[in-house]
């Protein structure tokens, strides 16, 4: 099939490369000329495992191309995906200006019947606005559809190539058949393609992310109770996760969720629910718990060292909001680090891939280290924000030797408290007992 993806951000680039990989002729269009020039050279502007070779291979085979000529890309394709950003407005609602601007451009360029799919995360009712924006510019038939993405950063290529489900909100039998054919190579193992009405598809995306965010905040609330009672949250997590009705996914306590999806999608869903007269109190609580949880490491540091951190030095392992990405949007490190600096501390940071993004955000306010152990030298404590694999089995004697005192604040529960006690660490984690030394 001939496909155009408008928007070469995270979602658009992954979708374009994966659709090309299954034999489609795909044009990725964007108005950012510099980004398009880089992509045509095979340079990937984001860190996502497996994406770079996919782009390179499909560029070389001429199944994938990049252009700034949005109008020509529309005319050249049968199916057009809108994959531009929907950042949160000041009131928390999704900003649709880019989506609707693209829709207008599509209408102006159309010379024949088209299928237009919103892949951007948009609130319920957006399909109608997209249709109106297109039909104001053309007399040609347009089928407006919703095809929300469910990609995890760090595993996006695998998620697209082997989805656990595909959601298609369609307005006609023709559009449903065409999109089902397009996605059929990705569901050969039997995972479902769910065809539904447009409103249901739009709500499904927000509901899925809100449910996952709710599970995270729920476990963080339980971790707070565990700390207050002396229970071990890991035992609680295993206990409830063994219930088949609940399952174990997204039940790990930590320093809160971040990234490009959960925070803005929960906010947008809260806004939509209030506008439609629905009770949003559950999701408002999810947000409140998450904002509090992002202060977890900071609060523990202050409890241990006091409000005045002048002269203190802290090592930070992990800057991205999760492993296998350089994305720092809404990352807990963006709460901890500025607060440490404000209190007079210095910060030495390490992250396997997010250093350049951190430099853009922090500049020379902190120091950056290519080796995680180098960040420890002379630090009063180690703070762990991200569960990168290299942090899971570190050289503990080397950590002890580098730190002024063997103090570790673990925001991802990477280590066992009893083991840290045996090794002589003062160790603080989430929802588990704190330990100070083997003698304790």
- How far apart CA 195 and CA 358 sit, in angstroms, is 41
SS3 119: coil
- How far apart CA 148 and CA 118 sit, in angstroms, is 7
**pLDDT of 99-146, one tens digit each?**
999 999 999 999 999 999 999 889 999 999 999 999 999 999 999 999
433's CB contacts (< 8 A; 6+ apart) are 230, 232, 417
- How far apart CA 143 and CA 321 sit, in angstroms, is 37
Helix then strand then coil, % of the chain, to nearest 5 = 45, 15, 40
Nearest to 388 by CA among 331, 312, 330: 331
The β-bridge partners of 426 are: 407
**pLDDT of 323-374, one tens digit each?**
999 999 999 999 999 999 999 999 999 999 999 999 999 999 999 999 999 9
The domains located in the chain, with CATH, are: 2-196 (3.40.50.720), 206-292 (1.10.1040.10), 294-428 (3.40.50.720)
* Percentage of residues in the chain having pLDDT higher than 90: 92
- How far apart CA 328 and CA 318 sit, in angstroms, is 10
Q: In this model, does residue 440 exceed pLDDT 50? A: no
Nearest to 149 by CA among 120, 123, 186: 120
Residue 101 host element (H or E)? helix 97-109
Length of the chain as a residue count:
440
**pLDDT of 192-244, one tens digit each?**
999 999 999 999 999 999 999 999 999 999 999 999 999 999 999 999 999 99
Nearest to 263 by CA among 340, 321, 339, 194: 321
**Contact present, 196 and 87 (Cβ < 8 Å):** no
Q: In this model, does residue 90 exceed pLDDT 80? A: no
Catalytic residue among 18, 117, 145, 261: 261
SS3 78: coil
- How far apart CA 438 and CA 154 sit, in angstroms, is 38
**Contact present, 254 and 330 (Cβ < 8 Å):** no
**Contact present, 435 and 278 (Cβ < 8 Å):** no
Please give the mean pLDDT across all residues of the chain: 95
- How far apart CA 115 and CA 60 sit, in angstroms, is 27
18 in catalytic set: no
SS3 154: coil
Max Cα separation, the chain? 80
- How far apart CA 308 and CA 316 sit, in angstroms, is 19
Confidence (pLDDT) at 439: 46
Q: Which two tokens stand for residue 266?
A: 């929960």
Residue 355 host element (H or E)? helix 355-362
Q: Which two tokens stand for residue 381?
A: 């404590």
Nearest to 361 by CA among 386, 327, 398: 327
């Amino acid at each position: 099939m001939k496909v155009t993806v408008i928007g070469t951000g995270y979602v658009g680039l992954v979708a374009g490369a994966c659709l090309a990989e299954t034999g489609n002729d795909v044009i990725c269009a964007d108005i950012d000329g510099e980004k398009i020039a880089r992509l045509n050279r095979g340079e990937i502007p984001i860190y996502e495992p497996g994406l770079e070779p996919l782009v390179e291979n499909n560029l070389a085979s001429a199944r994938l191309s990049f252009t700034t000529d949005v109008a020509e890309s529309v005319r050249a394709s049968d199916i057009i995906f809108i994959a531009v950003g929907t950042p949160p407005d000041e009131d928390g609602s999704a900003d649709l200006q880019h989506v609707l601007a693209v829709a207008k451009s599509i209408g102006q360029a159309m010379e024949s019947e088209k299928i237009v799919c919103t892949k951007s995360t948009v609130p319920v009712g957006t399909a109608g606005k997209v249709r109106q924006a297109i039909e104001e510019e053309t007399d040609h038939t347009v089928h407006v559809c919703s095809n929300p993405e469910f990609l995890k950063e760090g595993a996006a290529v695998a998620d697209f190539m082997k989805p656990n489900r595909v959601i298609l909100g369609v307005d006609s039998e023709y559009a449903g058949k065409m999109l089902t054919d397009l996605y059929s190579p990705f569901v050969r193992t039997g995972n479902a393609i769910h065809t539904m009405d447009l409103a249901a598809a739009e709500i499904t995306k927000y509901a899925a992310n809100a449910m996952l965010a709710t599970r995270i905040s729920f476990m963080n609330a339980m971790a707070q109770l565990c700390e207050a009672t002396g229970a071990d949250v890991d035992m609680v997590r295993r206990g409830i996760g063994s219930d088949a009705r609940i399952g174990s996914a997204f039940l790990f306590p930590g320093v809160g969720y971040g990234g490009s999806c959960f925070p803005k999608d929960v906010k947008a869903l809260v806004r939509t629910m209030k506008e439609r007269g629905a009770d949003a109190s559950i999701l408002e609580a999810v947000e409140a718990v998450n904002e509090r949880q992002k202060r977890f490491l900071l609060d523990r540091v202050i409890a241990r060292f006091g409000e005045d951190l002048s002269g203190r030095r802290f090592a930070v392992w992990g800057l991205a909001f999760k492993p296998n990405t350089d994305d720092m949007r809404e990352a807990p490190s963006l709460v901890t680090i500025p607060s440490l600096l404000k209190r007079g501390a210095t910060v030495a940071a390490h992250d396997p891939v997010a250093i350049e993004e951190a430099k853009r955000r922090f500049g020379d306010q902190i120091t950056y280290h290519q080796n995680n152990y180098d960040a420890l030298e002379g630090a009063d404590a180690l703070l762990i924000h991200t569960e990168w694999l290299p942090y899971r089995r570190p050289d503990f004697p080397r950590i002890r030797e580098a730190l002024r005192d063997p103090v570790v604040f673990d925001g991802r529960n990477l280590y066992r408290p009893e083991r840290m006690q045996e090794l002589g660490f003062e160790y603080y984690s989430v929802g588990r007992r704190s330990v100070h030394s083997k003698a304790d």
